[in-house]
A and B are shown apart, each in its own frame.
Chain A
Amino acid sequence: MANSKLDSKIPGGPIETMWEDYKFKMKLVNPANKKKHSVIVVGTGLAGASAAASLGEMGYKVKAFCVHESPRRAHSVAAQGGINAAKNYQNDGDSVHRLFYDTIKGGDFRAREANVHRLAEVSTSIIDTCVAQGVPFAREYGGTLSNRSFGGAQVSRTFYARGQTGQQLLIGAYSAMMRQVDIGQVDLYTRREMLDVVVVDGKARGITVRNLLTGEIESHEADVVVLATGGYSNVFYLSTNAMACAVTAAWKAHKKGSFFANPCYTQIHPTCIPVHGENQSKLTLMSESLRNDGRVWVPKNKNETRAAKDIPESERDYYLERIYPSFGNLAPRDVSSRQAKFRCDEGFGVQGQNAVYLDFGDAIKRYGEDKIAERYGNLFQMYDKITGENPYKMPMKIYPAPHYTMGGLWVDYNLMSTIPGLFVAGEANFSDHGANRLGASALMQGLADGYFVLPYTIGDYIANNKLDKVSTDKTEFKDSKNAVETEISKLMNIKGARTVESFHKELGRVMWDKCGMSRTEAGLKDAIKTIGKIKEEFWQNVRIPGDAADMNNELEKAGRVADYIELGELMCRDALERQESCGGHFREEYQENGEAKRDDEKFCHVAAWEWNGANKPQTRNTEELKFENVKLATRSYK
């Protein structure tokens, strides 16, 4: 049943014109008044930097915060493959409707239609804006923009800048923001970690941050707060996310009243370099774009010991091409990952390891080594550096790894959370990808939110609400600061015996085993118990050296791991309650021939969890999902 606490504020009307009509209906803030209003933006990845730049250009006073020493280091930088847009430059049948349809289907019918349609609509403007900013996209000899294909789509709509599209797009957004810094529209606060949202009279009016250089706890006020703080894949300890990626900002907002939606929707990316050892700190992605030319296979014989080159063609199982003939190696991520896991679980993994081959032999024969190097050179080089093996000579070994989280803070159509005045953008919100994100759609969503959605919806919020000036002398700011300081001294005073890292690893193992690529009722119940024990021991036995009033990496990590422990528990509860399989959420009890089996009768909804205070379980609220433009159907890539 839908719950009255969640109003998605979908404007209604035909989906094709909904966003345009709504933009006209929204109230505007006149140019002279914009300078009287301020916006805090937390996070400077694609969503945050694009929002800060655009809001600054419009005349709002912006304060941008990041944990890094420079905003350009945000993890969007690591996105390799590309960004989708419904330009149909290839004349291959793409359209806004097709991108909308592919994204809804790719998300296994668990995303909100209205949000996804808007995303597909603005996708084309993103490319134009980025080109104008000087993003050096790949080009054809005639001077036009080049495209490639990505998983879950049968058209070529992915724009790219070799294997570093994320970096180039981020530099575009970062430069645009730095231009606003230079003219004084954006104030930049680096090496700050957000540790609380300050709520005054029911509205988000500021944040409490720790200065990571001095340890000082600072209060900052504004009319509106935007969180663009990324995803939570690091709950698994080993993931493709950067070391500083944390759920902390989103989690603190959750504790202040933002509902957390679909935490169990996590994306395990099929093509990553397999785990090599106990001391490994992170996993490295090999872009999905490689599946344009690479073929995925395992030996047909169990316990095969021969090297790849000695295994004849007839003894190879190109399982994606076999099972999904119409999409082949470009089957979507959730499906491809699951099939890799099945093969390895059955004993077909490369040399008994958790690994499958990604083979460029055919492509090199067809196009030559030079052409392949031009397309994927930097990825091949990276693979070689990490593994010491040359992928031009022997196939890559790959295995799925945690990469992206579709779940996040619940937001309405305006991207506002359940705390009025607190907006959430990019990976940090839950809105557009349902239960599985398609490749090259994260960059699109981050920039859509920041460049083309928030600048409108924030204006409407400001125009509709009376926002009296608040000062950081107010009790709410002081209380928040005190609470943050108390929590920090609590952590510092534990003075236990175990390192933060050891707790994070322990949590990660539980999450990967029990709440990873496949989940069971018994496993999840077991995980919830184990996480409870980890939490108890953490708060009694963690060791943080040094001083809180100084730069202290271990203290930063400890705060993040404490939040991951609580999130981990919620993820397991969410996965347990969702008694169906959909997209990346695969419950072994609910399957049909190895494919996810949805239960649209009972679970065609968003689950949004409400915080009830420490040591009390969160309440599960639901938002019903209606499919009026794409027919609810069993997803098939066969």
Chain B
Amino acid sequence: MSEKNINITLKVWRQKNQRESGSFKEYVAKNVSTDASFLEMLDAVNEELISKGDDPIAFDHDCREGICGSCGFMINGNAHGPLKSTTVCQLHMRNFKDGDFLTLEPWRAAAFPLIKDLTVDRSALDRIIRSGGYISVNTGNAPDGNAIMIPKTAADEAFNAATCIGCGACVASCKNASAALFTSAKISHLGLLPQGEVEKEKRALSMVGQMDKEGFGACTSTGSCSASCPKDISLTNIARMNRDYMKASFSKKPETHSGDGA
């Protein structure tokens, strides 16, 4: 660690709530330690705002270890900022230079309505999961763990898809605000495992259906989702989802879905 201090100018989207219109405001973060994380830099800005009697900048965050998926906003047009495979809570100030000018904006997508400042409502992603992102097995009726043998390669590939943290960066960086990477990661994770294969087709139909219903855009395979994904979820998952969906659409009628999905 070679610590030094830098000054950063921030241009931040401030909006009290959905009813009021928002605007950009400028703040200067002074004497920021390069060992600090990006969110710790924002904490310091907020402490100063509170001391002055102003409203602090609202942003979602929790684990600050890059795993809970709570944090995320655009820094100069990049979801989670300039560093690849990194959530904004794991982005450290040593990646910036003294005098840098950074624009911070919330995720922008019709399916992610704004709540306040940099905080948006991502419950659409939960509704996609509830429409079929599970294996229909009740607690207590499972065979022995080793009764289901799974080739290591399949387990590893399923795991790679399962690492998605549901942060929404894929949606925010897509020009169509598509949730294809998120949805396909779940479809792949479960579909690649023998336990999940049983419901593969039904799952693809209902999750893709819900994704469309939420108002996410279509996928045009530009790949910016995967490029901005902090967990490096691969585009292959989208191909797999499309294949499952096509197969399911041709082979059988969708079963009636029990919930209303909204």
Contact = CB atoms under 8 A, between A and B. Distances in A.
Interface of A: 50, 53-54, 57, 68-75, 77-78, 87, 89, 125, 127-134, 136-145, 159, 161-162, 164, 166-168, 171, 174-176, 178-179, 181-184, 188, 190, 213, 242-244, 276-277, 279-282, 284-285, 381-382, 385-389, 451-452, 455, 499, 501-502, 543, 545-546, 550-551, 553-554
Contacts of A188: 126
Interface string B1-40: 1110000000000001100000000000000010111011
B63 A75 contact: yes
A494 to B, nearest CB: 13
B258 A243 contact: no
A453 to B, nearest CB: 12
B107 to A, nearest CB: 12
Contacts of B85: 381
Contacts of B54: 545
B102 interface: no
A69 B162 contact: no
Contacts of B51: 499, 543
A242 B63 contact: yes
Given A69-B122, A242-B68, A132 B3 contact: no
List 7 tightest A-B contacts by C-beta distance, closest first: A143-B149, A132-B142, A175-B134, A178-B130, A136-B159, A128-B142, A182-B259
10 contacts: A69-B122, A69-B123, A74-B68, A75-B63, A144-B146, A159-B145, A284-B64, A388-B94, A451-B139, A499-B50
A284 B39 CA distance: 14
Contacts, number: 234
B57 to A, nearest CB: 10
B140 A125 contact: yes
Nearest to B54: A545
Given A281-B40, A382-B90, A164 B67 contact: yes
Contacts of B259: 181-184
Contact of A175 (B33, B129, B144): B129
Given A71-B126, A136-B193, A145-B145, 8 more contacts: A54-B140, A70-B166, A72-B129, A125-B140, A175-B135, A182-B261, A386-B92, A455-B139
A131 B123 contact: no
A381 B83 CA distance: 13
B149 A142 contact: yes
B62 A175 contact: no
A133 B145 CA distance: 11
A385 B90 contact: yes
Contacts of B215: none
Nearest to B161: A136
Contacts of A137: 145, 155
A545 B35 contact: no
Nearest to B42: A281
A33 B116 CA distance: 44
Contact of A244 (B62, B83, B258): B62
A139 B157 CA distance: 12
B189 interface: yes
B68, B122, B145, B166: most-surrounded residue (chain A CB, <10 A): B145
Nearest to A139: B155
Interface string B37-61: 1011001100101110111101011
B163 interface: yes
Contact of B64 (A133, A143, A282, A554): A282
A131 B195 contact: yes
A133 B148 CA distance: 12
Contacts of B217: none
Given A176-B134, A181-B130, A382-B90, A129 B62 contact: no
A402 to B, nearest CB: 15
B155 A138 contact: yes
A152 to B, nearest CB: 23
B145 A136 contact: no
Contacts of B196: 134
Contacts of B155: 136-139
B136 interface: yes
B68 A134 contact: no
Given A277-B3, A388-B92, A388-B94, A57 B138 contact: yes
B239 interface: no
B152 interface: yes
Contacts of A131: 142, 145, 148, 195
Contacts of B106: none
A388 B196 CA distance: 40
A131 B133 CA distance: 15
A53, A74, A389, A553: most-surrounded residue (chain B CB, <10 A): A553
Contacts of B119: 551
Contact of B121 (A69, A72, A174, A277): A69
